[in-house]
Amino acid sequence: MRISDLNLLVTFSKERPARLLTDYLQNQGVEAQYILAHEPNGHSVVVHQSQWQIAKTIADEFVADPYATKYQEAAWQQGNSINLPASSWFSSQLIVQNLKQVPLTSIILVVCLLTFGLAFLGILGPYNWLRILPLSDLADNHQWWRIVGPAFIHFSTLHIAFNILWWWMLGKQIEQTFGKSCLLLLFLFTAITSNIAQLLIDGPNFGGLSGVVYGLVGCVWWLGWLKPQWGISLPKPIIIFLLVWLVVGYADILWLHMANTAHTAGLISGCLFAFVLSRFECKQVIPDRDIL
């Protein structure tokens, strides 16, 4: 790139976030460079002037949540490994700040943890209130919240750990980009679709957020393909891993029984949601933040 074609995008007080953002921009196809100036706050990121607007959108999202997994993944793909200070990850103040930034993602995560924790202690009230019933029973008692309820129920530590980690990574990405209303619609659509499909095929004895998680995977995957300019995507190795995991579930070679129908229905409904969303000229909901 010629220097005359470069525009300053953002300046940081530290090197790590500047290099992390540079790697992510390059991973997204943006011509970006890291520049060190011999002055305070001199860690700058510059981009080609023709790509400044899309780079600005990505930079605003980065500043809102620089600890998102996708930025470290981009650094790995670029051949770098940039570790933000470990103490920052475990700071209670930072945890609370991250939870407040994505309230809906945080609420659903906390409800899942509370439901699991109470069941572990033998308190089954929330479990009994949330578990799904046959459609004929729901038609009689009108307890329609139960068609969403299984998303909050988990049966083992491994089960809930897998689901909430993926929910946190993907849910907050959608909430930060499109807002909590969009995430709520996606959650309800994928939860209802996957739960009813699983109910009709295998009966009411199931639970887990994985149908919704596969819905998020499908949504983020297809948005990255249909609208790459929106800056929301999943690395191909992760997509391949989750699709292989889906196939392994159908092969029934694991020690646990998987809700395969819920996974498949969730994935398809998430892809459909992404297709509908891509028809609209959505503007990313990214608040203005001070530069790091």
Angstrom distance (rounded) from CA 111 to CA 39: 47
Q: Is 278 a catalytic residue?
A: no
Tokens of 53: 């607007």
Helix (H, G, I), strand (E, B) or coil at 252: coil
Query: Active site residue: 44, 106, 194, 210, which one?
Result: 210
Pick the CATH number of 102-278 from 1.10.565.10, 1.20.1250.20, 3.40.50.9100, 1.20.1540.10: 1.20.1540.10
The C-alpha atoms of residue 191 and residue 149 are separated, in whole angstroms, by: 8
**Domain residue ranges of the chain, discontinuous segments joined by +:** 3-84, 102-278
Give the pLDDT of residue 279.
87
Q: In this predicted structure, what is the pLDDT of residue 148?
A: 97
pLDDT of residue 286: 38
CA-wise closest residue to 151 among 123, 126, 180: 126
For the domain made up of 3-84, give the CATH fold.
Alpha-Beta Plaits (3.30.70)
The whole-number pLDDT of residue 152 equals 97
* Distance in angstroms (rounded) separating the CA atoms of residues 186 and 273: 7
| HSE-up (13 A, CA, CB side) for residue 282 | 25
Among candidate residues 24, 34, 32, the one with its CA nearest the CA of residue 48: 32
- What's the confidence (pLDDT) of residue 4? 52
Same fold for the pair 3-84 and 102-278: no
pLDDT along the chain (292 residues), means of 10: 66 80 86 70 79 87 78 61 45 65 92 95 93 95 96 92 92 88 96 96 92 94 86 82 81 68 94 91 42 34
Q: Is 210 in the active site?
A: yes
Phi/psi at 123 (5° precision): -95, 100
Q: What is the pLDDT of residue 161?
A: 94
Amino acid (1-letter code) at residue 112: C
Q: Which pairing describes strands 43-48 and 32-36: parallel, antiparallel, or unpaired?
A: antiparallel
